[in-house]
Amino acid sequence: MGEVSDSKSSLFPTYARYPMAMVKGEGSRLWDDQGNRYLDLMTGLAVTSLGHSPAKVKEKLVEQLDDLWHVSNLFHIPNQEKLARLLTDNSCMDAVFFCNSGAEANEAAIKLARRYHQKVLGTGRYEIITFKQSFHGRTLATLTATGQEKVQDGFQPLPQGFVYAPFNDAEALAGYINDKTCAIMLEMVQAEGGVRIADPAFVKEVAKLCKEHNLLLIVDEIQTGLGRTGKLFAYEHYGIEPDIITLAKALGSGFPIGAMLGKEKLTEAFTAGSHGSTFGGTPIATAAGIATVEIIVGDKLSDRAAEMGQYAVEKLKAKLEGHPMVKEIRAMGLLIGIECTRPVADLIAEIHGHGVLVVSAGPEVIRLLPSLLVTHEELDEGIEVIGKVLAGHTMAVNE
Ligand SMILES: *Cc1c(COP(=O)(O)O)cnc(C)c1O
């Protein structure tokens, strides 16, 4: 791997990194510093949804670099208005707050839910119900919203006001609501949590309880949003309307940008001075966002993700079903999980060794997050390798 491994790293070791260093990307291909070529079926964890270096996004970015990089949010920023309009025109939402990451988008959602209940409704409520195995980010509030002890380990005391209900358990949910509850926050597919898809009946119950108890429904679409699941937003599969959704990952095609979208009634709670971000929605970040969303919407990439996802799942099932190590194949569009009966870290390393990049989702799930522009041939190539590697491990337990 060249220079990177030769000397001691000056970085905090917060990541268990794969032993490669990527230096170039184009479409679904990546190249490492040794000249090896890879098929990228993980897209930086659902970030490079248009593939690497998409030409139209690059063009918009370069144009914007010539004009203006940064200006304070104390000024009007036309690109922000334009991207916000694109997002609200294509969702059930009315207003947008821009930030720089997924965690910040969820942080904004948590703050907005509390402030709406405290300043607009005057109920004083602050508690948010989230779900076990969820993932909402790494800031103190969002790691507390995350229903995984390993993410919270060592960071006590955690902020108050979060409770964790079992995911997909419609009957248990009502028992978690009390006179302090202000919101329910969930992912339509728990992606980091193992590609676990919300049951329609469960989501219906969530929406019903939110209405009955005047709770805000927050849907974390950071991984599922922007076409990934076969709709522009995953909530559209369920026939519900959240009050708040959060976006990041694919929004800038790799340029950092996050967004929180909310219903009109919530604008009263985020008044001037109540929330902010220096870099939130800079002219450059929003230029990347505009170009990305225009392509995803204009080229109907949600429909493409639905079709390609179905194709991939059929191929995977044909190849892997009946394999003693494969427990279940789950997918919504191009968010695909292969649950195994044992830890998958060594399998993933082996798949990487054959030039195909996939990632885990929890210890026992192999996750595929291909570009929304992935071709049939590329999927065939990746699935062939996954099939070959799994065929070499027929034992149900880790040998
Ligand atoms: C990645 C992710 C986040 C956190 O986003 P960051 O940009 O890493 O802060 C939050 N929620 C979900 C569902 C995610 O997939």
Supply 398's token pair.
């880790």
**87 backbone φψ class: left, alpha, beta (φ>0; ψ -120 to 50):** alpha
Tell me how far the alpha carbon of residue 7 lies from the centroid of ligand 1, in angstroms. 31
Q: How far apart are CA 228 and CA 251, in angstroms?
A: 11
From residue 136, how far is each of 205, 207, 231, 284 by CA, in Å? Answer: 21, 20, 21, 26
pLDDT of residue 150: 97
221 lines ligand 1 (CB under 6 A): no
Q: Give the mean pLDDT of 75-81.
A: 98
Asked if pLDDT for residue 395 goes beyond 90, the answer is: no
Residue 3, pLDDT score: 52
Domain limits of the chain?
22-40+303-398, 55-298
CATH 1.10.287.3510 fits 22-40+303-398, yes or no: no
Per-residue pLDDT of 145-177, as tens digits, reads 999 999 999 999 999 999 999 999 999 999 999
How far is ligand 1, taken at its centre, from the CA of residue 398, in Å?
A: 30
Residue 289: left if φ>0, alpha if ψ -120 to 50, beta else—which one? alpha
Q: Which CATH architecture has domain 55-298?
A: 3-Layer(aba) Sandwich (3.40)
**Residue 7: per-residue pLDDT:** 76
pLDDT at 333 over 80: yes
Query: Would you say residue 397 has pLDDT above 80?
Result: no
Query: Does the pLDDT value for residue 325 go beyond 60?
Result: yes
Ligand 1 atom at minimum distance from 139 CA: 9
Question: Tens digit of pLDDT for each residue in 267-299?
Answer: 999 999 999 999 999 999 999 999 999 999 999
Nearest atom, ligand 1, residue 258 CA: 7
DSSP codes, 183-212: EEEE-SEETTTTSEEPPHHHHHHHHHHHHH
State the pTM of this model: 0.97
What DSSP character marks residue 52? B
Residue among 136, 138, 139, 247 to mutate when testing ligand 1 (max atoms within 8 A of CB): 136
* Ligand 1: centre distance to CA 218 (Å): 14
